[in-house]
Amino acid sequence: MKEATLVLVKPDGLKKSLTGNVLTRLSETKLEIVAAKIVRVDDKLAREHYRGLSKEPFFEELIQYIKGELHERKKVMAMAYYGGGAIRKVREIAGGTNPEKADSISIRGQYGRITTKGIYENVIHASTDQRDAEREIKLWFQPDEIIVDLYPTKATAAEGTRQAWA
C-alpha cells in the first residue's frame, strides 16, 4: 500500500550544505517526492511538531534546534515522500535517532553529531509511523501544496482568499 512520510532537512543539515547528499541518499528508495518547500519554523510549529516530547528534559533545546537558533540557518526543508513502504524505507536510510549509535552509513550516522549539551543534531527528521506521518504532513503542508490526494479535504470559508501573483 502506498503511504506518505514527512522528511525535514533540519537546520544543521542546511548549515552543513547537506541537502544534495540527503536527496541523493533518499533517491535510493525510488519513492516519489510529492511536496517540498523551505520553511521558517516559528515557535508554534516547532512545539506542535514535537508535542509528543514536551515532557522530555531536552524539549526546550530541541525547540531551539528545530527553529534554527543553534545554527545560523533559520529554516528547514520540508518534503513529503510517497510510495510503498515509504515510512520504513526513509527511516532505514535516515538511521537511528542517536547519531553515535546510528548505522555508520546512514544519513544520521554519516553526518550527525551530539552537541555538548547532549542534543542529537541528526540532520533529518523522518516520520515514525502512519499516524505520525499523517499528523505531521497535515501540520507542515496545505492540501494544494501536495501533488497527490493523500487525505480527505474540505472547503473552507478562507477558500479563494489566498494571495495570487500580481
DSSP state of 54: T
Output the smallest distance, CB 154 to ligand UDP, in A.
29
CA distance 26 to 37: 16
Residues near Mg ion, by CB under 5 A: 128
Catalytic residue status for 49: no
Active site residue: 4, 46, 125, 126, which one? 125
Query: Which residue, 70 or 94, has its beta carbon nearer to Mg ion?
Result: 94
Nearest alpha carbon to residue 9 among 26, 28, 22: 22
Grid cell, residue 126, equals 523522518
Minimum CB–partner distance for residue 130 and ligand UDP (Å): 14
Between 58 and 147, whose beta carbon lies closer to Mg ion? 58
Give the residue nearest to ligand UDP (CB). 97
Q: Give the CA count within 13 Å in the CB-facing half-sphere of 149.
A: 3
**Nearest to Mg ion of 32, 132 (CB atom):** 132
Instruction: Record the cell numbers describing residue 136, joined without a space.
Output: 505531521
Positions annotated as catalytic residues are 125
